Amino acid sequence: MKKNLYLLTVGVALTSGFVLFTDQAFAQDAATGVSADVKFILNSFLFLVTGFLVMWMAAGFAMLEAGMVRTKNVSMQCTKNIALFAIAGIVYWAVGYNVMYDGVDGGFIGTILPKSIPAPSSDTGDYAAASDWFFQMVFCATAASIVSGTLAERVKLWPFLIFVAILCGFLYPIQGAWKWGAGWLDGLGFLDFAGSTIVHSCGGWAALTGAIILGARKGKYGPNGQVFPMPGSNMPLATLGTFILWLGWFGFNGGSQLALGSIADASSVSRIFMNTNLAAAAGVISAMILNQLLYGKVDLTMALNGALAGLVAITAEPLTPAPIMAIIIGGIGGLIVVLTVPVLDKLRIDDVVGAIPVHLLAGIWGTIAVPITNSDGNFITQLIGIGSIGIFMIISTSILWLVLKFTIGLRPTEEDESDGLDKAEIGLEAYPEFGQGSQRI
Amino acid sequence: MKVITAIIKPFKLDDVREALTGIGIQGLTVTEVKGYGRQKGHTEIYRGAEYAVNFLPKVKIEVVIPSDLTDKTVQAIAGAAKTGQIGDGKIFVGPVEQTVRIRTGETDIQALE
């Protein structure tokens, strides 16, 4: 009897030990799936590939803006876009990255030091340090691109580039640190997956204060509230730019999963691709239908803006929505654009490419919408995040624009603006074979 | 000799050219122009804002002919360019004092044939 009991005990112990072992094995399988090395490789690969997709968005912004400005300002717009990407690339190394990510610790700002990269043999963690830097840098450049579109055709090159340097080196990283750098907003539970607020609204606020302080393009608004549209020079370029941005957005949102080392991560990235595409498609369709109903025709530029608004709206939470919710969230983004572009004109805020409705307003909408599909979020915290970043960006960018305005000046002379900034500041027409003749009548 | 100047709708250019070759007219000059008449332009909407397009695109054709062909030419142009809608354009007829074919030095009617 005693022996039997002994055997039974051993048997149970062995069996339970076996069960424990296999369970553990299963648990390990589910948690890691691949070795730490492979995980490191896959995560770094995700950062690099999605990072260069986001880098390509800089080309999208450049083409969209080149198409939406008049012929006489196209070279200038292209110059601003290549220059701002270069400036972002350097200042985000020199200060931006560490201001955003190094030692924020629940606070408001990291350290003001260049980003250092470990030797390949001592690169540890979940991903290569430089792959993370690269991925974060291209997001910073995106925020700067938003500003250039709104202020097109009437801001001087160098003052604008000084603004971009400070935006990329300090303003964007500081508010980014509050959430993505594990700062105080992150502690509160604010959610912004890929940056509806942190990237898009951030750039949108800077564009809004800039547009107000700079004023409208000469001749855009009449004395009695009339609006005189200034149609863009090249709709094929604007369309190409939008397609490039749409493509780049798969990197923007998909890469923000930040990991590819498990089946769950690969599935999440794929789900994000699908939701991102659904939201963009819904933004186009809703903008087209609303435009047809309101004005009796479809406006291509509104359809293009609708795609981008759908993309911005889904950016705050591209993972948790079911497909139908991604369509609704993106579709509302498209409606926001068609409804708010004329409101800005009523307020005499001249936004050349529609970046304020697309990036600021659809960004706010997307951020508010997070708790609808993600039970970890709540509306109050989302509003605190939107509001605090909004206040910070409004105050800081207003001061910066005003300092530039009253020191080196922001606007070209009236004559230079009328001649076009291509001629006045760049000395190179974008389409010399057509020249000014195409603008006269 | 007469010069016929006609302002027509751009999409009617091919019809007018065919009508003129049909009655034996040897050459014509075409210019893309903008302007307005009683149609007074129209309104367009760009990004939710309505704006007036004061000058509409038209095509101007000029052809110099012997005086006896004037009526035939005017009728050919008018017939080919007519849609019956507002904005069909106008035809002007004026005198021409002299014509020279640069290559040969031929003048007037000879230069037109």
pLDDT in tens, A38-62: 999 999 999 999 999 999 999 999 9
Structure tokens that stand for A203 in this block: 């750039």
Q: Provide the CATH number for the domain formed by A35-116+143-439 in this structure.
A: 1.10.3430.10
Query: Mind telling me how many Å the CA of A240 is from chain B's nearest CA?
Result: 19
CA distance A413 to A426: 15
pTM: 0.84
Residue in chain B closest to A346 (alpha carbons) equals: B49
Percent of chain A beyond pLDDT 90? 88
Cβ separation A338–B55 shorter than 8 A = no
Tally of structural domains, chain B: 1
- Give 10-residue mean pLDDT values along chain B (113 residues): 96 95 92 88 86 89 95 96 93 96 94 86
Query: Are residues A173 and A95 in contact, defined by beta-carbon separation less than 8 angstroms?
Result: yes
Q: Say which CATH number the domain at B36 has.
A: 3.30.70.120
Residue at token pair 């863009």: A232
How far, CA to CA in Å, does A287 sit from each of A98, A333, A339? 40, 8, 9
Residues of chain A with pLDDT under 70: 1-32, 434-441
Looking at residue B15, what is its pLDDT? 95
Q: What is the ipTM of this complex?
A: 0.71
Q: Does residue B86 belong to the interface with chain A, where contact is any CB pair within 8 Å? A: no
Residue B73 pLDDT: 96
pLDDT of residue A431: 83
Residue in A162, A171, A163 with CA at minimum distance from that of residue A108:
A171
Min Cα–Cα distance to chain A from B61, Å? 20
* Chain pair A-B, CB pairs under 8 angstroms: 36
pLDDT, position A441: 47
pLDDT in tens, A53-111: 999 999 999 999 999 999 999 999 999 999 999 999 999 999 999 999 999 999 999 99
Task: Name every residue in A having a CB less than 8 A away from some CB of B.
Answer: 227-229, 231, 294-297, 299, 301-302, 338, 341-342, 345, 354, 441
Residue spans of the domains in chain A: they are: 35-116+143-439
**Given this model, what pLDDT does residue A21 score?**
42
Distances (CA, A) of A392 to A175, A320, A349, A353, A371: 8, 29, 21, 24, 23
For residue A299, list chain B residues with Cβ-Cβ distance below 8 A: 45-48
Query: CB distance B45–A345 less than 8 Å?
Result: no
Q: So what's the pLDDT on residue A32?
A: 53
Domain that holds residue B66: 2-112
Which chain B residues have a beta carbon less than 8 Å from that of A227? Answer: 49-51
Query: Which among A391, A374, A375, A373 has a CA at the least distance from the CA of A383?
Result: A391
Which of the 8 DSSP states describes residue A114? P
